[in-house]
Amino acid sequence: MSKRYDLIIVGAGPGGAMAAKTAGENGLKTALLERKKDPAKITRGCAMMFAIESGYYFAERMYYNRKNGKMIFPVNGFSVDYDGPARNFYAWHFYAPDGKTRMAFGDYEESIKQGDQGRLSFVYDKGKLIEGLVDDAVGTGVDLFTGLNVDGIEKRADSLVVTGGGETFEGTFVIGADGINSRVAELMGFNKERTYYCPAPGITYYVTGLTIPQSESIILGNCFQPNAPVPILFWVIPSPYEDDEYWFNVSKEEDFAYVTKESNFAHWFAGAKVNRAISYVGNLRSPVSEPYRDNVLLVGDSAWFGEAEITGAMMCGWKAAHAITVALKDNKPDREGVLDYISWWKKSYPEFDDYRNFLMIVPFGLLFSEEELTYLFGLFEKPLPPNHNPFLVVRLVKKALEPMMPRIEKEMPSVVEKLQMLEIDKVDEFLGNFKTFFES
Ligand SMILES: Cc1cc2nc3c(=O)[nH]c(=O)nc-3n(C[C@H](O)[C@H](O)[C@H](O)COP(=O)(O)OP(=O)(O)OC[C@H]3O[C@@H](n4cnc5c(N)ncnc54)[C@H](O)[C@@H]3O)c2cc1C
């Protein structure tokens, strides 16, 4: 016989764990179902940057108060305890394929002098964060089931039945917090209306022994392997685990070998040691139009186009659990009961910014030739103002280039043409052309 719950949460990532803690504190009878044996073990690539401190993001102005170990979400009005490692970074550097020319958001040398006050943001230990949230949830009486892969949901007259690992759970509401490849979203038919772009594969290496200039920054590098269909984009970001460890991310294993051994960046990696690697694949889809269907609410990545971010997923979990609490108190276990979450989600996500502004970073990295990129980044003699918001990158670069357009027109007109292609209504077509490449 299945046990009856007010709320069943699928997935104990940041979104599900935050929802479970909140629902538990509110006194809801809650089950938290997680596929991994240990929810705190990170098995999917994540740079673990605090997203973000440099401005509003998903309509929130979050920041970390290191003194009391609290992540603060002042617009939504809650905080999350975190007293693990927090390693600052001070600028965002975009490197051209020559390995030298770069465009920067933020003045590294000036900012690093100011410590916490000057940081762009910081990286932290997501596993420790999740561990804290899950422990708190269990402490409030939430039933945690680990090593349980949810594979079915059925809508009954006044409940939902969730199945997985030979067990059955019955609940009034379900939260689907099972990430970018959400089974809950698929089973409940949310994906039928979404545009499927392409798989987004990646491999993440934790590396020590690097010699990178101004290394306490986010690096997005670009290089061209001879005869390859598209350039290689790679990320290097400080790791929260050790002071001299960095998170290195590329699409494929072969790209790691090329960047670290043959590219113009190879000298950064001459003494590198790989401590461990994690591969992953996500399916890129447009966001849902509404994160509710038949008493199922989606939170975090399951509803968005990819990265709701750790902070965004926690905001969703917090808000969804409170909305469900009110619906149950008001005896309205239906869409109307949780309307507060639905309208909050729309305001904080699709209405706050168009997801394609984030995706535009892909054509920005892949569109230009080696020569064009070196020329383009070389135009920026001084750093641009600090920015850690990927939704703004292309717009800020285009704005900064506006006064230089007559010069670019004269010196490298192909760059002007390509800049004009960086518009959100052209992103779908661009990614469509790359589908075959990513699927291969
Ligand atoms: C390369 C990369 C870099 C990133 N860098 C950052 C960054 O720097 N900062 C940042 O904030 N975000 C970053 N993100 C995004 C971040 O990882 C996600 O947005 C965030 O983890 C979403 O949280 P979530 O709770 O929605 O989903 P997830 O963290 O994906 O959690 C989902 C949970 O559900 C479980 N699950 C899945 N399916 C089932 C099932 N069928 N049954 C039971 N359990 C299931 C999973 O095991 C997992 O524990 C990055 C993502 C990628 C891919």
Cα–Cα distance for residue pair 311/316, rounded to 1 Å: 9
Cα–Cα distance for residue pair 130/337, rounded to 1 Å: 28
**Closest to 200 measured CA to CA, from 302, 58, 308, 305:** 305
- Given the CA of residue 164, which atom of ligand 1 is nearest to it? 42
Would you state the pLDDT for residue 434?
62
Distance 301 CA to ligand 1 centre (A): 7
Pairing state between β 102-105 and 150-155:
unpaired
- Quick check: 209 pLDDT over 60? yes
* Higher per-residue pLDDT: 416 or 432: 416
Task: Determine whether domain 86-123+198-284 maps to CATH 3.30.9.90.
Answer: yes
Percentage above 70 pLDDT, the chain: 98
Average pLDDT over residues 86-113: 97
Average pLDDT over residues 141-149: 98
- Quick check: 437 pLDDT over 70? no
Residue 299 token pair: 């939170």
- Given the CA of residue 307, which atom of ligand 1 is nearest to it? 19
Average pLDDT over residues 158-169: 96
- Given the CA of residue 149, which atom of ligand 1 is nearest to it? 42
Residues facing 208 on adjacent strands: 245, 273
Distance 152 CA to ligand 1 centre (A): 20
- Given the CA of residue 49, which atom of ligand 1 is nearest to it? 8
Average pLDDT over residues 156-170: 96
Residues facing 249 on adjacent strands: 204, 235
- Quick check: 202 pLDDT over 90? yes
Which band of pLDDT confidence, cut at 50, 70 and 90, is reported for residue 413? very high
- Quick check: 1 pLDDT over 90? no
Model confidence, pTM: 0.97
Average pLDDT over residues 68-86: 98
In terms of average pLDDT, the best of 1-5, 226-230, 423-427 is 423-427
- Given the CA of residue 282, which atom of ligand 1 is nearest to it? 53
Which band of pLDDT confidence, cut at 50, 70 and 90, is reported for residue 439? low
Distance 2 CA to ligand 1 centre (A): 28
Fold (CATH) for 3-82+125-195+286-348: FAD/NAD(P)-binding domain (3.50.50)
- Give the residue carrying structure tokens 């465009």: 103
Q: What is the pLDDT of residues 313-350, one digit of tens each?
A: 999 999 999 999 999 999 999 999 999 999 999 999 99
Q: Tell me which residue has its CA closest to atom 35 in ligand 1.
A: 11
Gyration radius (Cα) of the chain, Å:
22
Distance 302 CA to ligand 1 centre (A): 9
Which band of pLDDT confidence, cut at 50, 70 and 90, is reported for residue 440? low
- Given the CA of residue 317, which atom of ligand 1 is nearest to it? 25
Name every residue whose Cβ is closer than 8 Å to that of residue 43 and which is 6 or more positions away in sequence: 36, 278
Distance 14 CA to ligand 1 centre (A): 7
Pairing state between β 78-81 and 70-73:
antiparallel
The DSSP annotation for 348-413 comes to HTTTTS-HHHHHTHHHHHHSS-HHHHHHHHHT--SPBPP---TTTHHHHHHHHHGGGHHHHHHH-H
Distance 268 CA to ligand 1 centre (A): 30
Pocket test for ligand 1, best of 58, 285, 301, 314 (most atoms within 8 A of CB): 301
Would you state the pLDDT for residue 306?
82
Distance 47 CA to ligand 1 centre (A): 11
Would you state the pLDDT for residue 430?
77
Q: Tell me which residue has its CA closest to atom 17 in ligand 1.
A: 46
Average pLDDT over residues 153-161: 95
Would you state the pLDDT for residue 172?
98
Average pLDDT over residues 60-78: 98
3-state SS assignment for residue 296: strand
Distance 305 CA to ligand 1 centre (A): 12
Residue 131 token pair: 């561990």
Indicate the domain borders of the chain.
3-82+125-195+286-348, 86-123+198-284, 355-439
Which band of pLDDT confidence, cut at 50, 70 and 90, is reported for residue 284? confident
Mean pLDDT of the chain: 95
Q: Tell me which residue has its CA closest to atom 26 in ligand 1.
A: 300
Would you state the pLDDT for residue 341?
98
Pocket test for ligand 1, best of 307, 345, 359, 388 (most atoms within 8 A of CB): 307
Residues facing 88 on adjacent strands: 122
Would you state the pLDDT for residue 431?
74
- Pocket around ligand 1 at a 6 A CB cut-off: 10-16, 33-36, 39, 45-49, 51, 149-150, 164, 177-179, 183, 202, 249, 280, 282, 300-301, 307-311, 313
Pocket test for ligand 1, best of 46, 249, 284 (most atoms within 8 A of CB): 46
Mean pLDDT is lowest, of 312-321, 394-403, 406-415, 421-430, for 421-430
Pocket test for ligand 1, best of 309, 311, 359 (most atoms within 8 A of CB): 309
Mean pLDDT is lowest, of 32-36, 223-227, 350-354, 407-411, for 223-227
Q: What is the Cα 436 distance to its own chain's centre?
A: 24
- Quick check: 257 pLDDT over 70? yes
Q: Tell me which residue has its CA closest to atom 49 in ligand 1.
A: 13
Q: Which helix H or strand E contains 31, and what residues bound it? A: strand 30-33
**Angle (nearest 5°) at CA 338 between 336 and 344:** 115
Would you state the pLDDT for residue 436?
58
Give the start-end residues of each E strand in 108-166: 121-124, 143-145, 150-155, 160-164
- Quick check: 43 pLDDT over 90? yes
Q: What is the pLDDT of residues 169-183, one digit of tens each?
A: 999 999 999 999 999
Would you state the pLDDT for residue 365?
87
Average pLDDT over residues 54-81: 97
Average pLDDT over residues 113-121: 97
Q: Tell me which residue has its CA closest to atom 29 in ligand 1.
A: 13
